[in-house]
Protein backbone atom coordinates (compact mmCIF):
# COMPACT_ATOMS: atom_id res chain seq x y z
CA UNK A 1 0.00 0.00 0.00
CA UNK A 2 2.85 2.37 0.80
CA UNK A 3 4.29 2.30 -2.72
CA UNK A 4 0.92 3.26 -4.21
CA UNK A 5 0.54 6.23 -1.90
CA UNK A 6 4.14 7.19 -2.61
CA UNK A 7 3.55 6.96 -6.35
CA UNK A 8 0.42 9.10 -6.08
CA UNK A 9 2.30 11.71 -4.07
CA UNK A 10 5.12 11.65 -6.61
CA UNK A 11 2.64 12.25 -9.42
CA UNK A 12 1.05 15.08 -7.49
CA UNK A 13 4.23 16.80 -6.35
CA UNK A 14 6.96 15.38 -8.58
CA UNK A 15 8.98 18.17 -10.12
CA UNK A 16 6.64 20.85 -8.82
CA UNK A 17 7.69 22.78 -5.76
CA UNK A 18 5.21 24.27 -3.35
CA UNK A 19 5.48 27.67 -5.04
CA UNK A 20 4.80 26.20 -8.48
CA UNK A 21 1.71 24.42 -7.16
CA UNK A 22 0.60 27.63 -5.47
CA UNK A 23 0.79 29.58 -8.72
CA UNK A 24 -0.47 26.91 -11.13
CA UNK A 25 -4.17 25.99 -11.16
CA UNK A 26 -3.33 22.84 -13.16
CA UNK A 27 -1.13 21.62 -10.30
CA UNK A 28 -4.02 22.16 -7.88
CA UNK A 29 -6.35 20.25 -10.21
CA UNK A 30 -3.88 17.35 -10.29
CA UNK A 31 -3.55 17.40 -6.51
CA UNK A 32 -7.34 17.36 -6.25
CA UNK A 33 -7.48 14.17 -8.34
CA UNK A 34 -4.77 12.50 -6.27
CA UNK A 35 -6.63 13.37 -3.10
CA UNK A 36 -9.85 11.97 -4.59
CA UNK A 37 -8.05 8.63 -5.02
CA UNK A 38 -6.29 8.57 -1.65
CA UNK A 39 -8.94 10.04 0.67
CA UNK A 40 -11.45 7.15 0.51
CA UNK A 41 -8.69 4.63 1.23
CA UNK A 42 -7.37 6.56 4.21
CA UNK A 43 -10.93 7.09 5.46
CA UNK A 44 -11.61 3.33 5.26
CA UNK A 45 -8.39 2.55 7.08
CA UNK A 46 -9.23 5.00 9.84
CA UNK A 47 -12.93 4.28 10.34
CA UNK A 48 -13.79 0.78 9.17
CA UNK A 49 -14.14 -1.94 11.78
CA UNK A 50 -12.61 -4.22 9.14
CA UNK A 51 -8.81 -4.04 9.50
CA UNK A 52 -8.39 -5.13 5.88
CA UNK A 53 -10.72 -2.48 4.41
CA UNK A 54 -7.94 -0.23 3.13
CA UNK A 55 -6.13 -3.18 1.57
CA UNK A 56 -9.39 -4.26 -0.08
CA UNK A 57 -9.78 -0.77 -1.54
CA UNK A 58 -6.19 -0.86 -2.85
CA UNK A 59 -6.87 -4.30 -4.34
CA UNK A 60 -9.96 -2.93 -6.09
CA UNK A 61 -7.93 -0.03 -7.49
CA UNK A 62 -5.21 -2.35 -8.76
CA UNK A 63 -7.76 -4.70 -10.28
CA UNK A 64 -9.40 -1.80 -12.12
CA UNK A 65 -12.80 -2.61 -10.62
CA UNK A 66 -13.59 0.94 -9.52
CA UNK A 67 -14.79 2.93 -12.57
CA UNK A 68 -14.53 6.27 -10.75
CA UNK A 69 -10.96 5.56 -9.67
CA UNK A 70 -10.11 4.36 -13.18
CA UNK A 71 -11.34 7.64 -14.65
CA UNK A 72 -9.44 9.72 -12.08
CA UNK A 73 -6.24 7.69 -12.56
CA UNK A 74 -6.54 7.99 -16.34
CA UNK A 75 -7.00 11.77 -16.08
CA UNK A 76 -4.00 11.98 -13.73
CA UNK A 77 -1.86 9.99 -16.11
CA UNK A 78 -2.93 12.12 -19.08
CA UNK A 79 -2.08 15.28 -17.13
CA UNK A 80 1.28 13.85 -16.09
CA UNK A 81 2.04 13.13 -19.75
CA UNK A 82 0.91 16.54 -21.03
CA UNK A 83 4.49 17.81 -21.35
CA UNK A 84 5.85 14.53 -22.74
CA UNK A 85 6.34 14.45 -26.51
CA UNK A 86 3.53 12.45 -28.17
CA UNK A 87 5.99 9.90 -29.56
CA UNK A 88 6.92 8.78 -26.00
CA UNK A 89 3.42 8.61 -24.53
CA UNK A 90 2.52 5.08 -25.76
CA UNK A 91 5.69 3.67 -24.20
CA UNK A 92 4.99 5.38 -20.87
CA UNK A 93 1.38 4.12 -20.94
CA UNK A 94 2.69 0.61 -21.60
CA UNK A 95 5.10 0.89 -18.68
CA UNK A 96 2.22 2.09 -16.47
CA UNK A 97 0.06 -0.90 -17.46
CA UNK A 98 2.98 -3.28 -16.85
CA UNK A 99 3.56 -1.72 -13.43
CA UNK A 100 -0.05 -2.48 -12.53
CA UNK A 101 0.45 -6.10 -13.62
CA UNK A 102 3.56 -6.29 -11.44
CA UNK A 103 1.69 -4.76 -8.51
CA UNK A 104 -1.09 -7.34 -8.90
CA UNK A 105 1.49 -10.14 -8.98
CA UNK A 106 3.12 -8.78 -5.85
CA UNK A 107 -0.26 -8.67 -4.12
CA UNK A 108 -0.91 -12.29 -5.14
CA UNK A 109 2.53 -13.37 -3.88
CA UNK A 110 1.92 -11.62 -0.57
CA UNK A 111 -1.27 -13.64 -0.20
CA UNK A 112 0.56 -16.93 -0.76
CA UNK A 113 3.58 -16.30 1.41
CA UNK A 114 5.77 -19.43 1.60
CA UNK A 115 8.49 -17.95 3.81
CA UNK A 116 9.77 -20.16 6.62
CA UNK A 117 8.03 -17.94 9.18
CA UNK A 118 4.72 -18.19 7.33
CA UNK A 119 4.99 -21.97 7.04
CA UNK A 120 5.84 -22.22 10.73
CA UNK A 121 2.82 -20.05 11.58
CA UNK A 122 0.56 -22.30 9.45
CA UNK A 123 1.89 -25.44 11.16
CA UNK A 124 1.32 -23.94 14.61
CA UNK A 125 -2.23 -22.96 13.64
CA UNK A 126 -2.90 -26.49 12.37
CA UNK A 127 -1.66 -27.98 15.65
CA UNK A 128 -3.81 -25.58 17.67
CA UNK A 129 -6.89 -26.42 15.60
CA UNK A 130 -6.18 -30.14 16.09
CA UNK A 131 -5.89 -29.59 19.86
CA UNK A 132 -9.33 -27.96 19.73
CA UNK A 133 -10.75 -31.00 17.92
CA UNK A 134 -10.97 -29.17 14.58
CA UNK A 135 -9.59 -30.20 11.20
CA UNK A 136 -7.77 -27.39 9.37
CA UNK A 137 -9.02 -28.64 5.97
CA UNK A 138 -12.70 -28.97 6.98
CA UNK A 139 -14.71 -26.23 5.28
CA UNK A 140 -17.87 -27.17 7.22
CA UNK A 141 -16.07 -26.67 10.54
CA UNK A 142 -14.82 -23.31 9.27
CA UNK A 143 -18.39 -22.31 8.32
CA UNK A 144 -19.58 -23.41 11.79
CA UNK A 145 -16.88 -21.25 13.41
CA UNK A 146 -18.07 -18.32 11.31
CA UNK A 147 -21.70 -18.94 12.29
CA UNK A 148 -20.91 -18.99 16.00
CA UNK A 149 -18.54 -16.01 15.75
CA UNK A 150 -15.55 -17.94 17.07
CA UNK A 151 -12.87 -15.39 16.26
CA UNK A 152 -10.01 -17.53 17.58
CA UNK A 153 -10.95 -20.57 15.48
CA UNK A 154 -11.52 -18.38 12.41
CA UNK A 155 -8.10 -16.79 12.83
CA UNK A 156 -6.51 -20.22 13.19
CA UNK A 157 -8.30 -21.56 10.08
CA UNK A 158 -7.03 -18.60 8.07
CA UNK A 159 -3.49 -18.94 9.42
CA UNK A 160 -3.50 -22.70 8.78
CA UNK A 161 -4.14 -22.13 5.05
CA UNK A 162 -5.73 -25.53 4.57
CA UNK A 163 -9.00 -24.57 2.92
CA UNK A 164 -9.19 -24.59 -0.86
CA UNK A 165 -12.32 -22.54 -1.40
CA UNK A 166 -11.80 -20.12 1.41
CA UNK A 167 -14.64 -17.59 1.41
CA UNK A 168 -13.75 -13.91 1.40
CA UNK A 169 -13.37 -12.97 5.04
CA UNK A 170 -12.09 -9.44 5.46
- Using one digit for the tens of pLDDT, what is the confidence trace for 10-33? 544 454 444 455 667 877 887 888
- Using one digit for the tens of pLDDT, what is the confidence trace for 86-134? 898 888 888 877 887 777 777 666 655 667 788 888 899 999 999 999 9
Residues 126, 162 contacting (CB under 8 angstroms): yes
Range of the domain at 147: 116-160
Helices (H), 14-112: 18-23, 25-47, 53-63, 67-80, 89-111
Cβ-in-10-Å burial (0-12, 13-18, 19+) of 126 comes to: buried
Same domain, 57 and 71: yes
Residues 77, 12 contacting (CB under 8 angstroms): no
Same domain, 50 and 107: yes
- Of 90, 111, 132, the residue at which a domain comes to its end is 111
For residue 76, how far is the Cα from the chain centroid? 19
Does 169 fall in a domain?
no
Amino acid sequence: MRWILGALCFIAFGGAGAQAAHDDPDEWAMLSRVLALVQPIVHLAAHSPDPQAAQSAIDALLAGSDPRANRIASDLFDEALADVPPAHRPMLRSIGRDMLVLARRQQARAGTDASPESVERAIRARKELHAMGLRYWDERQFQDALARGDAIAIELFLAARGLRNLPEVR
